[in-house]
Structure formats: structure tokens, C-alpha cells
Amino acid sequence: MNLQEWLEVATRGLKPAQQERIALEIKQHLEDAEAYLTQQGVLAEEAQQRSLEGLGDPLVASRAFLAMSSRPFVWQSLATLTYLMLSFPLGIAYFVLLITGFAVGLSLVWTWIGIPILALTFGMAAVFSALERSLAASLLGVYVARRPVYTVSGKGFWARAKAHISDKGTWLDVSYMFLRLPLGVAAFSLALLLWVLPLSLIAMPFAMHFAPDVQISFPDGWFGRGQLNALNGWVIALFGALLLPLCLHLLNLLASQYGLLAQYLLGNGAKGVSRPLQNPNTLQVVGALLVLILGAMVYLARSQGALPIP
Amino acid sequence: MNLKGSLPALILEVLSRGSSHGYEIAQLIKRRSQGVLDFKEGTLYPALHGLERDGLVTSSEQSENGRTRRYYTLTEKGEKALAAERAEWQKLSSAIGGILGGKV
């Protein structure tokens, strides 16, 4: 591994200005380290190698840089929610526009009209991928290097089209747009569940107070038969309040995996680094899963009549 | 020895004796711990940048003998944070010393 490769891994996903500053500082650091070692009689080549090794694993540095530049939990959670909620409508838009463009363009390619349709479709894919890059950067804090729309500039249409079509990055971008639909639906449903569930639980006592006529039904056995009473409402709200931060952690964890995919497919196949969207707290995530599993078990046990109804 | 988590405090301590640049800070920590506290130098910069983001240090580029380096300086807020870290450490080390040191 050389310095360039080390820097590429260590600073991936950071803002360009930040990348530049780190590159400069690490270069200065290595110059000092090499100068010291050569002073000690170490050969230049070995000094260079040993200085670089002294920096350690670039992945470790990368995680530290990404964690250092993360947002406060609440703001990041809101940004994450926005990103995940947007993935459904955007996923549908990309899918419909691109599939139509490719289908019509390819089927008409034998007439001249198919060519401009295909060119337009590729153009749309480039615009969409630029939009996705800026969404990933602004909402997930994952900076993916911009790919030039035309890899060959200053040449004729056919040369540019050929270069664009034979570019691996073009197809990775397009496959990302198509993946956005199934993944977007999954992300949207999960995001909706994970923030609507705790919020509706928290709202329970208020709903019972302000809209007493509305029937709120839980399965028989959850809170005894019949109507919920005020105390039960507050117990439910407390449960919701405990569940909310745990759900947001799960959402952030999910979104960091989307960030990873965006880095890989929009970054021309570059291996991404999983960005911790907030200081990762394994305990809270495991806690969230336990609460959900416990809730499901109690529900099942009660619906089967295994647990007595209070 | 792994110094996970304590690197920022060690950096503040080094900077309390005057401005310094990354390489020098790393060497000073290693030298003053007689090589016991060894760490990969690549992790020093995230820690430094984090301290700067939190306003505990400031940095500026300076030229010395024709070479430009980024120097880090402790701020007032950093001094207070260092004093708090020192107090915390003394409390912890005397507590652990009380148990592991064999005192009755």
C-alpha cells in the first residue's frame, strides 16, 4: 500500500475540503517520520515503508474521521427519516422513467428516433445519480466522488456515447436507480413503522383524553377486556417513549447500510466504509431488538391464552 | 498498550506545554510514556480534528525552515477540559490504587 491508497481509504466519504486537509497533514507527518528515520541511519525506502506502517490501518482511521464528523443524534435521525421516506417516491420515479426510456428507446433503436430517446434516458440517469449523490451527502453525510457525465470530452456524439455506454460507472449508476425501487419500498415501510409506532404509543393518553369517543382497540388480553383506562394509557406512552430512541437508532443503522450501497454503486464500484451515523451504541440497538422480541412474545403468549389476563 | 478513549486527554496535556504539530504530538506522547503508550499515528488526526471541532484546540498553518505544518494550540476551553480530565484521572487512579495497590 502506498500513501495515495492509504489516503483514499482513510478519507473516503468525507467532504473534499476535509480530504484535502487530511492529505496535506498526513503528508507532512510522513515527511517528518521519514526524516527522523533516515537520520537514524535507516535507508530511505525502508523509512518510507515504516512511516506508512506507523499510520496503522486506514479503515480504523476512516471510521474515526467519519464518527468525528457526525451530526447530533436528533438531527441525524431527522435527516435519516427524510432520506428513507424519500426513497419510496424517488424509487418509483426512477424506475418508471428509466424503464420506459430504455424500453421505448431499445425497441425503436432500428429507427432513428430510438437513439435520442436512449441518449435522453442515459442523461436522466446521470441527473438522477447526481441527485442521489447530493442526497447521500446532505442527509447521510456520505460524500461520493462525482463522476464526470461525459468521460470523453471534446469529441463527437458517437465517441462520447460509446465511452458513456462502455463505462462501468454508468451501469452501476443505472443499477442503483433500479435498486432504489425494491429497497426504497422496504426502507419506506420500515421507516414508517419505526417512527409511527413509538409516536402513536406516546400519543395514546392524549388521544384518550382529547378524543374519548374514538375506540382504541388492543387485542383481548393486552390490557384486560374492554376499554383502556387512563393508567394503561400512560403505561403505553412510557413504553413508546422508551421505544422511540431505540427505533431511531435502528433507522440510523439501516440508513448507514444504504449509505454503503450508495458509496459502492455511485462511487464507480469503490468499496465504501460503513459510516456510523451517530456514535454507535450497540447496547441500545440490542436493547431495541430485545424490547421488540419481548413484546412479540408477550403478544403471542397472550393470544394463545398462555399468560393469564390481568 | 491500547489507549482507546484517552488519546484526546493526552493530546491536550501535550499541548498545554505549547503549540505543536501532529508528528511532534505523537512522538511526545510516546516518549513521555517511555514507549508504553504506543498507538497508530493515523488515529491521531481524527482525535485532533475532533478536539478542534469541539473548540478545545485551534489550528493554523505555519512555516518553519521552509516547511509548512499545521500547528495546534490549546484554547481556554481546552485548558478547562484538561483540568477536568486531570481531576477525573486522579480520582480514578487513587481509587484503583486503593484496591490494586494493596493498601488497607
CB contacts of A34 in chain B (<8 Å) are: none
Nearest by CB to A29, from B23, B46, B53: name it. B23
> Between B69 and A292, where is the model more confident?
B69
Specify the range with the lowest mean pLDDT, choosing from A97-111, A153-167, A198-212, A221-235.
Answer: A221-235
With vertex at residue A295, the alpha carbon angle to CA A290 and CA A301, rounded to the nearest 5 degrees, is: 120
Candidates A11, A19, A25, partner chain B, best to mutate (most B CBs within 10 A): A25
Sorted by sequence, the CB contacts under 8 Å of residue A83 that are 6+ apart come out as A135, A136, A139, A140, A255, A258
Predicted pLDDT of residue A308: 54
Specify the range with the lowest mean pLDDT, choosing from A86-100, B23-37, B65-79.
Answer: B23-37
CB contacts of A54 in chain B (<8 Å) are: 40-41
What single-letter amino acid sits at A214? V
Sorted by sequence, the CB contacts under 8 Å of residue B5 that are 6+ apart come out as none
The x, y and z cell numbers of residue A107, run together, are 425497441
DSSP designation for B4: T
Whether the per-residue pLDDT at A267 is higher than 50: the answer is: yes
pLDDT digits (tens, 9 = 90+) for A107-130: 998 888 998 999 899 889 989 988
**B62 part of contact set with chain A, CB < 8 Å:** no
ipTM for this model: 0.87
**B77 part of contact set with chain A, CB < 8 Å:** no
pLDDT digits (tens, 9 = 90+) for A19-45: 999 999 999 999 999 999 999 888 888
How many Å lie between the alpha carbon of B4 and the closest alpha carbon of chain A? Answer: 11
CB contact under 8 A, A26 and B67: no
How many Å lie between the alpha carbon of A275 and the closest alpha carbon of chain B? Answer: 14
